[in-house]
Chain A
Amino acid sequence: MTYSFPEEVLEHVFSFLTSQNDRNAASLVCRTWYEMERWCRKRIFVGNCYAVNPRVLIRRFPEVKAVELKGKPHFADFNLVPEGWGGFVYPWIVEFARVYPWLEEIRLKRMVVTDECLEIVSKAFRNFKVLILSSCEGFSTDGLAAVAANCRNLRVLDLRECEVEELSGHWLSHFPDSFTSLESLNIACLSLEVSFSALERLVSRSPNLKTLRLNRTVPLEKISKLLQRAPQLADFGTGAYSAEIRPDVYSSLQEAFSGCKKLKSLSGFWDVVPAYLPAVFPVCSQLTYLNLSYATTQSPDLIKVISQCHNLQRLVVLDYIEDMGLDTVAVTCKDLRELVVFPSDPFVADANVLLTEEGLVSVSQGCSKLQSVLYFCRQMSNSALISISKNRPNLTCFRLCILEPRAPDYLTFEPLDVGFGSIVENCKELTRLSMSGLLTDRVFEYIGKHAKKLDMLSVAFAGDSDLGLHHVLSGCESLRKLEIRDCPFGDKALLANASKLLTMRSLWMSSCFVSFGACKLLGQKMPGLNVEVIDERENLNLLPENAPVEKVYIYRTVSGQRLDMPDFVRIMGKDKNGVYNLL
């Protein structure tokens, strides 16, 4: 090539490419671009920590400032992945410490993080700024203390739904007095009390604090103090929202909220005492995000708050809101983009609340910008699903959980195939779908035919035969994540679509009919896949080849075999050295 851009120009151009997909595409253009791009890529995203290994990553990208890693499969959230399966971040942290001394941001999801990892992070990276741990476990408050004590430039400490071994609440006091850079603190998942005075001092000396999500132990009476110290907050999560009814407490709380002119997100509300809810009225019209999923109070109280949230974009609430409350949402929240309704009592068959499919239909009618839905309910009908799909063809994420597995259309007793079929047919931009209820192979036919942009599909207790799985694997062009439990899918569709699996991030199948033999075969013949059989039964080698495995997790990988597997995980078809075992 006689003419080419100087490297500096290329680098400058690449700096405008922010999405990883765009950067990946650019790196495929030619050798020069590959080299240029890899030297200047600062942010790395690894969707499956076992798809690649630290060495490979480091070799390619020498100048990394931010890393995001994901570990366990999604169904780990529901106890389907046995403890000890994997997702250990330690080897990554060790390598990063060695090679990326200027690493600033680490985001981890569903990974096992030890105190030692946190200590290394706190000491190895001088300019460390952002630590976001989402659904992680394996560490204690000692690890948090290390981060607090040593990360001089920390801006974000965000513990989202982590399982932390709580030895004491004193860790927060380890932030030194000279530490003033905090912008975001989320400790909502912790259950031990932290020293309030330490918290108050921390908030006072953090002028850039925008996000503060407290845990349940911070009493309501003390929140006003914190809010007064941080009126610039944009995102606030209360502690337990209950106290004796006292006018002075109420008025200072209301005043404190009034002072938060920039508050846009509100959450917390454990143990809510409805009498105190009106204290948030001053900020309701500012809110774009409201999470009331811990507010165990009845619909009328919830409605009083929501009816003032005209600018709400995301609402998370319990089914206490009932259909009536959702009607209010439909009328009030015209800017709503996302609705999440969790079940208050999921293990009881009979409905304890008046929440039905009607509520969802109502919101789909009234909220024209609605894109994302996660809805738990006890009954559904094809006609409701069809209405929803016609009302909201702009849906991108539709997750419906009817609490009872295999529940049919409650009006006609038919399967819900046609309803979900309508969703995939009308919602052409749908990227994520979770289904429930009584479903036959037909629904998969619809999905394979219409869901061309579908990226992630979750299926449970559905289908009749391998044909169902085949429809999905052969028809869904954009599919990257497929998770299936308790469906009568076996070897045929899986083996017939083996090469499809190389275009996907992962496939999870548990309590299906996939056999040992098929797993072995797949593992042998597809070097680009790890076929993990996760099975806790003893004496597995006595089982015949056609016996079904408990769980199989298949993912593409360039890193070869894992070396950190527990005894109940077997990677099929490859021997210890990664050589293919044909026997």
Chain B
Amino acid sequence: MDVTLGLLPDSPAGDDGGGVPSGVSTTVKSILTKEDNNKNNMVMCSEVSSSYPVGDQHLGDLELGLGLSIGGGGGGGGLKGKVVAGGGWSQYARILTAKDFKQNSCSSSSCSVSIPNSATSGFKRSATDSVSPTNGNSVVGWPPVSKAHRMPSLANENKSPTGNRISVTEQNKSKNRTAVINDYSNEKARISDKKYHSVKVNMDGSLIGRKVDLNAHTSYEMLAQTLEEMFFRRRSSTEAAKSSRLLDGTSEFVLTYEDKDGDCMLVGDVPWQMFLSSVKRLRIMKNSESNELAPRFQENNERRRTDVV
């Protein structure tokens, strides 16, 4: 295995540590990995000479598709066949960013990005971003407010803080001091952001298991959304509308979970909080395997099959 490592740039003038003044071009050796075959450790090295002239919109070779080789299998020709049955690894790798949906359409394969100096993006985000458009709750750790400064009680208390009036609830609170204190400790236990609650998720036909933090979600809908984003890549917002949903039975997969007793249950039957306390792991099951679940579900199954035929 021939490995040349030019991790450090070779020209003293263009060193990577100091403040390189603008306009100086830097010769950088970088490592590009290419998968010619499926052997794990094959790396090929090439010297990439790039210039980073400030103010110039052309980005130079550095911009070459590392994004491609991960995201679209541009360089990874031989790889696809080997990877998991759920569809190429690229599915899991790609984080869709604003770049994919720019109006000035940088969809050319070189994906050179023009530095916008005019209004390019009148949009906020695309529907298929890893960030939920309406509710930031499904993005872990965003907004970046630490636990101590999240305000859990606001959801339960009066939304609009009253002025100088003292509300009935507050009067009651001061009377039932003990009750209030107990509530606080219960609240703390209930507060979904107090602790991680990660469970493993496996999908039939996929070798790669994932983990999802249930406490970053507040409803089945949100959870299904996250899982769909994890396991079923959606290419555009139009596809998102048509794409199948795990919860309503239109997908070829169903979402199930293993509970405390080891039973395999259909997700969605019990209230969310109850689900949280009994779920041990999740499984995205193929429809055909779902026979051991609740009869109600099978009925839906059969109905659908006859519809299709």
- Report yes or no: A486 in contact with B95, Cβ–Cβ below 8 A: yes
Contacts of A434 in B (CB 8 A): 144
Contacting residue for A465 out of B62, B119, B164, CB 8 A? B62
Q: Most chain-A Cβ atoms within 10 A of its Cβ — which of B31, B35, B92, B198?
A: B31
- A536, closest chain B residue (CB): B211
- Report yes or no: A539 in contact with B137, Cβ–Cβ below 8 A: no
A166 interfacial by beta-carbon distance below 8 Å? yes
Q: Compute how far the CA of A189 lies from the CA of B38 in the bound complex, rounded to whole angstroms.
A: 52
Contact with A along B101-138 (1 / 0, CB 8 A): 00000000000010110111110110000110011110
A145 interfacial by beta-carbon distance below 8 Å? no
- B178, closest chain A residue (CB): A193
Contacts of B146 in A (CB 8 A): 77-78, 135, 161
B145 interfacial by beta-carbon distance below 8 Å? yes
Q: Compute how far the CA of A169 lies from the CA of B35 in the bound complex, rounded to whole angstroms.
A: 60
Contacts of B174 in A (CB 8 A): 219, 242-244
Contacting residue for A545 out of B8, B28, B35, B115, CB 8 A? B35
Q: Compute how far the CA of A498 lies from the CA of B29 in the bound complex, rounded to whole angstroms.
A: 11
- Report yes or no: A496 in contact with B196, Cβ–Cβ below 8 A: no
A75 nearest CB across to chain B (Å): 7
Of A23-31, A146-154, A176-184, A472-480, the one contacting chain B is A472-480
B287 interfacial by beta-carbon distance below 8 Å? no
B203 nearest CB across to chain A (Å): 11
B224 interfacial by beta-carbon distance below 8 Å? no
Contacts of B185 in A (CB 8 A): 166, 191-192
Q: Compute how far the CA of A216 lies from the CA of B152 in the bound complex, rounded to whole angstroms.
A: 14
A255 interfacial by beta-carbon distance below 8 Å? no
- B112, closest chain A residue (CB): A465
B294 interfacial by beta-carbon distance below 8 Å? no
A126 nearest CB across to chain B (Å): 33
- Report yes or no: A78 in contact with B20, Cβ–Cβ below 8 A: no
- B131, closest chain A residue (CB): A405
A513-B198 contact given A344-B151, A412-B119, A544-B89, CB 8 Å threshold: no
- B183, closest chain A residue (CB): A191
Q: Compute how far the CA of A486 lies from the CA of B113 in the bound complex, rounded to whole angstroms.
A: 18
Of A99-107, A383-391, A436-444, the one contacting chain B is A436-444
Complex interface residues of chain A between 397 and 421 (CB less than 8 A to chain B)? 401, 403-408, 412-415
B218 nearest CB across to chain A (Å): 9
A345 nearest CB across to chain B (Å): 6
Contacts of A492 in B (CB 8 A): 30, 32, 48, 62, 66
A488-B118 contact given A82-B198, A466-B62, CB 8 Å threshold: no
- Report yes or no: B200 in contact with A538, Cβ–Cβ below 8 A: yes
B144 nearest CB across to chain A (Å): 5
Contacts of A458 in B (CB 8 A): 144
Complex interface residues of chain A between 560 and 583 (CB less than 8 A to chain B)? 582-583
B140 interfacial by beta-carbon distance below 8 Å? yes
A440-B113 contact given A511-B130, A515-B33, A536-B198, CB 8 Å threshold: yes
* Chain A residues touching B, range: 35 or more
B145 nearest CB across to chain A (Å): 6
B250 interfacial by beta-carbon distance below 8 Å? no
**How many chain B residues touch the partner (CB < 8 A)?**
111
- Report yes or no: A521 in contact with B5, Cβ–Cβ below 8 A: yes
- Report yes or no: A467 in contact with B7, Cβ–Cβ below 8 A: no
A275-B166 contact given A193-B181, A349-B135, CB 8 Å threshold: yes
A518-B136 contact given A77-B146, A475-B19, A546-B76, CB 8 Å threshold: no
Q: Compute how far the CA of A488 lies from the CA of B26 in the bound complex, rounded to whole angstroms.
A: 22
- Report yes or no: B184 in contact with A546, Cβ–Cβ below 8 A: no
Contact with B along A491-522 (1 / 0, CB 8 A): 11101111110010000000111010110011
A396 nearest CB across to chain B (Å): 19
- Report yes or no: B157 in contact with A473, Cβ–Cβ below 8 A: no
B81 nearest CB across to chain A (Å): 12
- Report yes or no: B70 in contact with A539, Cβ–Cβ below 8 A: no
A171 nearest CB across to chain B (Å): 15
Q: Compute how far the CA of A471 lies from the CA of B55 in the bound complex, rounded to whole angstroms.
A: 13
B238 interfacial by beta-carbon distance below 8 Å? no
Q: Compute how far the CA of A544 lies from the CA of B150 in the bound complex, rounded to whole angstroms.
A: 39
Q: A83-B195, A348-B135 are in contact. List 5 more A-B contacts (CB 8 A).
A: A347-B137, A414-B120, A485-B141, A486-B131, A539-B209
Instruction: Kindly list the 3 A-B residue pairs having the minimum CB-CB distance in the complex, ordered from nearest.
Output: A78-B141, A538-B209, A161-B148
Task: Pick 13 A–B contacts, CB within 8 A, sort by A.
Answer: A78-B144, A83-B198, A349-B135, A376-B145, A412-B119, A474-B20, A491-B30, A513-B67, A515-B70, A539-B209, A544-B89, A545-B33, A583-B41
**Residues on B close to A: CB < 8 A?**
3, 5, 7-9, 16-20, 22, 26, 28-33, 35, 38, 40-43, 48, 52, 54, 59-60, 62-63, 66-67, 69-70, 75-76, 79, 83-84, 89, 92-93, 95, 97-99, 113, 115-116, 118-122, 124-125, 130-131, 134-137, 139-151, 153-154, 157, 159-164, 166, 170-171, 173-175, 177, 180-181, 184-185, 188, 193-196, 198, 200, 202, 207-211, 213, 216
